[in-house]
Amino acid sequence: MPLSRFHPLIADWFRSSVGVPIDMQVRAWLAIQSGGDVLIAAPTGSGKTFAAFLSCIDPHN
C-alpha cells in the first residue's frame, strides 16, 4: 500500500480523514516518489491535490 511509504502521521491522517486512496493517487505517488516528472489529469474533485501535495510535504521524500 503506497500510504505506507509516507510518514506515519501523514498516512494516519489520510486514512482517518480521506479514507482509501484511489488508483490515480496511488499511481501519482509512486511516480512522484520515484523522482519522475508527473502530470496528473483527472476530473475535478477526484483527489489530484492530495496526489501532488502529500508527496511535497512528506519528510520521507
DSSP per residue, 1-51: -GGGGS-HHHHHHHHHHT-SPPHHHHHHHHHHHTT--------TTSSHHHH
Distances in Å between the alpha carbon of 29 and those of 13, 14, 26?
Answer: 16, 13, 5
Q: Is residue 29 over pLDDT 80?
A: yes
pTM as predicted: 0.82
Q: Which residue has the higher pLDDT, 14 or 58?
A: 14
Q: What is the pLDDT of residue 37?
A: 87
Q: What is the pLDDT of residue 15?
A: 94
pLDDT in tens, 8-26: 999 999 999 999 999 999 9
Q: Is residue 50 over pLDDT 90?
A: no
